[in-house]
Amino acid sequence: MLLTVNLKSEEPIYLQIRNRVVEGIASGALREGDPLPTVRALAAELGVNLHTVNKAYSFLRIEGFVKMMRSRGTVVTVPRRGRDTQDFLDAAAAAIKNIVTEAITRSVGREELTGMIHKIYSELEGKKK
């Protein structure tokens, strides 16, 4: 089973499913055309409600990460590269501003945070090879 969720996490389950798929795409584990489990199968496998999986898949479809095709299931569609770039950068800047602000009040230096970024890039991109 590729997809696992933590029912006790504070992160909403539908977002966990969505995030695992996006991570799979980012790391290259999921490629264009790869099939995802059916909504029913995944719901049963994870022990969550149909609606929850449906919501996750709908999100992924809206974001362009999957195509849901009637009677042929859901398949991965690596989205075109530059989409929504500005929106993403704005959101990322806002999130990073919050992190940096907190970091400064704790005397956590910028190297610590940039180190995290390099580490995660390497982990995800490393899987691609």
Partner DNA sequence: GTGGTCTAGACCACT
Partner DNA sequence: GTGGTCTAGACCACC
Give residues in contact with a second copy (CB under 8 A): 7-8, 10, 12, 19, 22-23, 25-27, 33, 59, 62-65, 67-70, 72, 75, 78-89, 92-93, 95-108, 110, 112-114, 116-118, 120-121, 124-125
Q: Using CB atoms within 10 Å of the CB of residue 68, give its burial: 0 to 12 exposed, 13 to 18 middle, 19+ buried.
A: middle
Pick one of a second copy, DNA, none as the site partner of residue 44 (Cβ within 5 to 8 A by kind).
none
Q: What is the largest CA-CA distance in the chain?
A: 55
Letter for the amino acid at 15?
L
Q: Which is nearer to DNA, 62 or 93 (CB)?
A: 62
Pick one of DNA, a second copy, none as the site partner of residue 49 (Cβ within 5 to 8 A by kind).
DNA
Angstrom CA distances, 38 to 70, 74, 80, 107, 114, stand at 11, 7, 24, 47, 38
- State whether residue 44 is helix, strand or coil: helix
Q: Which is nearer to a second copy, 40 or 84 (CB)?
A: 84
Residue 116 tokens, joined = 């995290």
- Shortest spacing between CB 99 and a second copy, in angstroms: 5
Residues that bind DNA (CB under 7 A): 12-15, 38-41, 47-52, 54-55, 57-58, 61, 68-74
